[in-house]
Amino acid sequence: MTSIDQSILTLILLVPLAGAILIALLPDQAKLPNWIALLTALATFGLTLHLPAHFVAGQSGFQFEFTRLWVENPAIHYHVGVDGLSLWLVVLVGLHAPIGVLASWNTIKTRRTIFYSLFLVQQTSMFGVFISLDLLLYYGFWELSLVPMAILIAMYGRKDGPKAALKFFLFTFIPSAPLLVAILWLYVKTHTFNFAELQYQTASGALPAGALFWVSLAFVFAFAVKVPIFPLHGWLADTFNEAPVAMAMVVAGKLGLYSMLRFHAGLFPVQARALAPLLMVLALIGILYGACLALVQRDFFRLLAYGAVSHFSLVILAIYGLTLNGWSGAVFQILNLSIVEAAMFVLLGALESRYGTSQIDSFGGLAAKLPRTATYFVLASLAMIGLPLLSGFIGEFVILSSTFTGVSRSAAIIAAIGVILSAAYMLWLVLRLFYGPVNSISDSKPAHDLSFGELVALTPLVILMVVMGVSPSLWFNTIQAGPHPPGTQAIVKYIRLLESAPPAASTTQEVQR
Amino acid sequence: MNPVPDIYRILPEVILTLTGVVVMLIDASLPPGVSRRYLGFVAAIGATLAIWASIWQLSLPEGTGFFATVETSNFTVFFHVLICGIVLVALLLSLDSLPSNTHHQGEFYALIVFGAVGMCLLTSAVELLLVFIALEISSISTYVLAGYRKHVGRGPEAALKYFLLGSFATAFFLYGIALIFGATGTTEIYKIAHAAPGAQNQILVIASLALMLVGILFKVSAAPFHIWTPDVYEGAPSPVVALLSTAPKAAAFALLIRVVYEAFPTLRSLWSPLLWAVAVLSMTVGNLAALRQQNVKRMMAYSSIAHAGYLLAAFAGAPEIGIPAAAFYIAAYAAMNVGIFAVITLVSGYDEHLTLIEDYRGLLYRSPFLGSMLIFFLVSLIGIPFTGGFFGKFYSFTAAVSGGAIALAIIGLLNSGLAAAYYLRPALAAAHRPDSDALVQPRSRVGVTALAALAFTAAATLMLGIVPNTVLRAAQSGALTLQAPAPEPATPAGAATATPSEQPAQ
C-alpha cells in the first residue's frame, strides 16, 4: 500500500468540504461559486477514479483502509475503506457532483454561496456513508446527509419547499432514533463500533437472539424509509417535486439500498434471512403499486417518484432473495438507476425551468422544437425500461433471472409485470411530452433546446448507459469481489467454525476470511 | 505540606465579587450623562480572570477550605469554567444589544457578575447553609435581570412570577436543610452521607431529600416544576435568557449531584426512579408543548425543559457513567443554547419586535450570516452528528443503555425525533424564500462583541461535536473526584466495579 492509497478516501471526504468552506467564505459574485463548485466536484471525481484504477479485483475484503482513533471513550474510530460493494457507489457519488453543478448552473440564481456550499457538504456526507466502516461514523454521515438536503429543499422548493423539507426530514430522522438505540445496544454488548468485529460478534451467537432480532429490525426500518420501500414512501413524491434537480437525483435509493446490503444483511445474516420473506412481499407490492401509481400521475416529477419506488423495490427483491447473482444484479441496478435517474432529472428539470410547469398535460409535440432534448430523453427512458444493449436491461435481467431460478418463480413473474408496466408509463410519458399534437401552453413559450452545460452533463451519462449495457463485466468483476449473501449452509458452517475457533479479537480477521 | 490558604479555594468567586463591586462603584461615581457601556468590558475582563483563576485552581491539591464549607476539585473547576464562560458570552452579547442610553446599565453588568458569584459558589459549596446562601445570591440577581426591561412588554410580569415561584422553591430547599439538620445534626454534605443512614428518624431524612429536590428541580426547570419557564423567557431580555437558560441550570445540576449522589447515596432506590420519572416527564412535556408555540422564545423555553429531561436521563439511568455524560451534555447544551439566543438577540433587537417563528421567514436570504448561524445551532439542538448536541445526546443515552435503562433511551431518542419537528420550523422558515413586500429588516450591523460571542459559541459547539475528547476527559476527571470522598460503606454496590471498566481513559 502506498501512502496515497491510504489517504485517498480521506481526501475524497475532505476535498468537497474544503470547497464548501471556500465557497462560504468568498463573495457571491458573478458565477464564482459555480466555478469553484465545479472545479471541486471535478477534482473529487478525479480522486474517486483512483479507486477502481488501483482496486485489486480478485481480493475480497476492504481495500484503501485507514483507521485512526477519533473519540477515546467510547472508542469511536475514523475507519474508512471500500470493497466491491461500495467501490462503484463512491465513483457514482463523484460522478453526480459535477453533473449536479452543471444542472444547477442556470436554475439557481439566488444565494449561490449557500446552495453550492451545502451541495458539497452533501457530497461529503454521502461519501462518508459509503466508506465508513465504523458504525458510529457511518451513523454520523447518515444523519448529516439529511441537513443540507432539507435546507436546500426548503430554500429552492418550487411551491411549498418548507413543508416538503419537514416531511422529508421527519420521515427519515425519526426512524434513525431506534437505529441509534440499536447501535448503542450493540456497543454496550460488544464494546466495539468496528464493522468487521461486530459482524463476527453477531454471527458468533454470543448475543441474545431475541434482542438481536429487534436490533436488526431497527436497522432495516431506518433503511427502508430512506430507500423508500412500500408503505414508507410518503415523503418521496413531495421531495422529488420540490427539491432542486441536483439534490433530487441523489436523495433516494442508493444510500438506503447500500445500507441494507452492508449493515443489515451483512451484519445480521440470520435475522435478515428471517425478515426476508416480509421484505420480499413488501418489495413485490412496491413494484406493482409504484408502477400503477406512476401510470396515473399528472406531474412528471411525481411520475418519476412512483416509478422510482417501483424500481427500488425490484432491487430490494434482489437483496432479500439473498443469492449471489441477485446481489451483483442489485448493485449493478443501483448504479444503473442512479445514472438513469440523474439524466431524467436533468432533462425534466430543464423542461420545468423553461416552461415553468411540471404538469404533463401542459406539454405536447416538443420533439420537433427540441430535438436534442427528445433524443436524450428517449434514450434515458429506454435505459430505464431495460432495452437490451442499454444498462437497465442487464440489471433487470440478472435480478429477474436470479429470482426466477434461485428464489421464487411467482415472485419473478410478478416482478416482470412491474417491468412491463414501467415500459408502459415511461413510453406513455415520452409520447405525451414529445410527440402527439402540439400543446398550446408549451407552444406559447419560447423554445430553447438543451444548453451547452446540460449537454456536457448529459452526454457522459448516456455514454455510460450504453457502455454499461454492452460490457457489464467491467463492473461485475469488482462487484462480485464484494460481500456475498449469507446462505443457510454457509451460516451453519460459519457458526461451527467460529465455535471451534478461540474468540480472541485478534483472530477476527483471519476467521472471517 | 503547607495547607492551601482558604482564600485560594474561592479565588474565582473573590475575583467576580470584586469585579461586581468595582463596576457598581464606577457606575455610581460617573456623572449621569456618561455612557456606561465600557463597564461591560470591565465585567467581561473579570469573568475572563475568573476562568483563569478556576483553571489555576487545578494546580491546588483537592480539598476543602473555610471550615470544610467550600471544595475545589476537578468537578468544581469544570463547572466554574463553564459558568464563567457562559457569563462572558452573555456579557459580550449584552454589550452589543443594550442601547447605550439604557438606564442602570452599570447595575445590569454588576448583577450578571454577582449572579455568577452565586452560581459558582453553588457548585463548590459542600455545606448546605452555604449552598442556600449561594442559591439566594444567584436567584436574586436573576430575578432582577429578568425584569430589567421595566417598560417593555411582559418584563415586570415575568420578573414577579419568577420571584414568587423562585422564593417558594428556595423556601422548600431551606426547609429540607432544616429537616436534615434535625435528623443528623449536621449540614455538611459528606457528614450527612455518613450520618443519614444511621439517623433515628428516617422519615425526616426522606422528607428532607424530597423538599430539597423540589428546590433543585425548580432551578433546573424540570417538569412538573417548569411552569415559570416560558413566561420568564418571553419577558426577559434575550441576552439574559441566554444566561438564565444555561448557567443556573448547570449550577443547579451540580448541586443535584451533590445532594442526591453525595449526601444521600443510600436512598438511591428512592431518588433514582423519581429522577427517571421526572426525566421522562420533562422531555415529553417540554417537547409536546414546544410543538405548539408560535413565539420563538417560548418555544426555546419549552425546549430547555426538554433538555433538562435529557440531562436527568443521563444521570437517572446509571449515575456512575451518567455524571460525566451529563456534565458533557450541559456543556454542549450551554454552547448551542447561548448561541441560539445570541442569534435571537441579534435578529429581534433590544425591543424584540420580531418574536414569532413567521418573522424568521427568509432570514437566510436577508442576512445569510445570521440565517446560517440560526440553522447551525438548531441543527445542533436537533442532535445531528458533528455538532456538540449529538455527542451530548450520544453520551447521555449511552449511559442510559449501559445502565440497563433501554426504555429511557428509546423514549429519549423518540423525543429527540419529536423535537426535530419544532426546531425545524424556524430553520425552514429562515430558509423559505421571503415574500418580497413583507420584508422586515433585521439589524444589518452585527457588532464586534456580538460577533465574538457568536464565534465563541459556534466554535464551542463545533469543537464539542468533532473533537470532544478534551471536554469529556475533564468531565470524567471531575466525576471521579466527586466519587472519591463518598463514604465507602455508602457507595452503592457496583459503583466501584463499573467505574474503572467504563472509563479506561483515566
Q: Among A244, A267, A290, which residue terminates a domain?
A: A267
CB-nearest to A114 from B368, B397, B468 is: B368
Confidence of residue B18 (pLDDT cuts 50, 70, 90): very high
- A residues 132-191 lying closer than 8 A (beta carbon) to B: 136, 139-141, 143-144, 146-147, 150-151, 154-155, 161-162, 165-166, 169-170, 173-174, 176-178, 180-181, 184-185, 187-188
Nearest chain A residue (CA) to B423:
A166
Nearest CA in chain A to B403: A188
- What residue in A sits closest to B363 (Cα-Cα)? A155
DSSP B403: T
Task: Check CB contact under 8 Å for B384 and A178.
Answer: no
DSSP per-residue codes, B74-102: HHHHHHHHHHHHHHHHHHHHHHHHS-TT-
Q: Which residue has the cell 478556576?
A: B54
What letters, b where the CB count within 10 A reaches 16 and e where it falls short, cover B384-400?
bbbbbbbbbbbbbbbbb
- Which ipTM score applies to this complex? 0.87
Per the CB < 8 Å rule, is B432 touching A174?
Answer: no
The residue written with cell numbers 421522562 in the block is B280
CB within 8 Å of B335: residues ≥ 6 apart:
B380, B388, B457, B460, B461, B464
Radius of gyration of chain B from its Cα atoms, rounded to whole angstroms: 22
Q: Do residues A13 and A25 both lie within one domain?
A: yes
pLDDT reported for residue A2: 64
Q: Note whether A372 and A444 are same-domain residues.
A: yes
CB atoms within 10 A of CB A296: 10
In chain A, the number of structural domains is: 3
Q: In which band, very low, low, confident or very high, does the pLDDT at B303 lie, cut at 50, 70 and 90?
A: very high
Model confidence pLDDT, tens digit, residues A39-68: 999 999 999 999 988 888 777 778 898 999
Instruction: Report chain B's mean pLDDT, rounded to a whole number.
Output: 86
A165 and A292, same domain (yes or no): no
Partners of A114 on chain B (C-beta within 8 Å) are 364, 368, 372
> Where in A298-418 does DSSP place strands (E)?
none
Task: State residue A507's pLDDT score.
Answer: 39
Distance, in angstroms, between B413 CA and closest chain A CA? 5
Contacts of A177 in chain B (CB under 8 A): 410, 413-414, 416-417
| pLDDT higher at B29 or A487 | B29
Instruction: Give B440's pLDDT tier (boundaries 50, 70, 90).
Output: low
Q: Are residues A488 and A478 in the same domain?
A: no
- Find out whether B23 and B104 touch, Cβ atoms under 8 Å: no
- Are the Cβ atoms of B401 and A110 closer than 8 angstroms? no
Q: How far apart are CA B389 and CA A431, in angstroms?
A: 51
> Between residues B154 and B41, which one has the greater pLDDT?
B41
Query: At residue B458, does pLDDT exceed 60?
Result: yes
Measure CB to CB from residue A155 to each of B385, B431, B468 and give the nearest one: B431
Regarding whether A137 and A223 lie in a shared domain, the answer is yes
What is the β-pairing status of strands B70-72 and B63-65?
Answer: antiparallel
Residues A474, A503: one domain? no
CB-closest option in B385, B409, B476 to A140: B385
Strand duo A63-71 + A76-82: pairing: antiparallel
Amino acid found at A445: K
Q: pLDDT of A62-86, one tens digit each?
A: 889 899 998 887 889 999 999 888 8
The ranges of chain A with pLDDT < 50 are: 488-489, 501-513
Which residues of chain A make contact with B421, given a CB cutoff of 8 A? 166, 170
Interface check B386 vs A, CB under 8 A: yes
Q: Which residue of A has its CA nearest to B417?
A: A174
What are the start-end ranges of the H helices in B147-188? 155-184
pLDDT at residue A189, as a whole number: 86
Domain boundary pick from A267, A289, A314: A267
User: Does residue B429 sit at the A interface (CB-CB below 8 Å)?
Assistant: yes
Are A370 and A240 in a shared domain? no
Q: If you count them, how many residues does chain B have?
A: 506
Q: Are residues A400 and A512 in the same domain?
A: no
Contacts of B503 in chain A (CB under 8 A): 73
pLDDT digits (tens, 9 = 90+) for B83-118: 999 999 999 999 888 877 677 888 899 999 999 999
Instruction: Report A:13-32 residues touching B (Cβ under 8 A).
Output: 24
User: What pLDDT is attached to residue A509?
Assistant: 41
Which residue in B has a C-alpha nearest to residue A173's C-alpha? B417
Report yes or no: B421 at the A interface, CB cutoff 8 Å: yes
H or E element at residue B342: helix B319-348
Q: Does B54 score more than 90 pLDDT? A: yes
- Which of B377, B394, B471 is most worth mutating to test chain A (most A CB atoms within 10 A of its CB)? B394
- pLDDT tier, B366 (very low <50, low <70, confident <90, very high otherwise): confident
Point out the domain boundary residue: A238, A267, A296. A267
Q: What is the pLDDT of residues B284-302, one digit of tens each?
A: 999 999 999 999 999 999 9
A226 and A285 housed in the same domain? no
Same domain, A148 and A289: no
CA distance B118 to A332: 65
Query: Band of the pLDDT at B486, cuts 50, 70, 90?
Result: very low
Q: Residue A363 belongs to what domain range?
A: 273-482
CA distance A48 to chain B (A): 24
- Per the CB < 8 A criterion, the answer to whether A122 and A279 are in contact is no
Please check whether residues A313 and A217 belong to one and the same domain.
Answer: no
Question: Do the beta carbons of residue B139 and residue B180 sit within 8 Å?
Answer: no
Q: Does A195 touch chain B (CB under 8 A)?
A: no
Does B436 reach chain A within 8 Å, measured CB to CB? no
For A155, other C-beta atoms within 10 Å of its C-beta total 26
Q: What is the pLDDT of residue A497?
A: 53
Residues A247 and A299 occupy one common structural domain: no
Put simply, whether B501 touches A (Cβ < 8 Å) is no
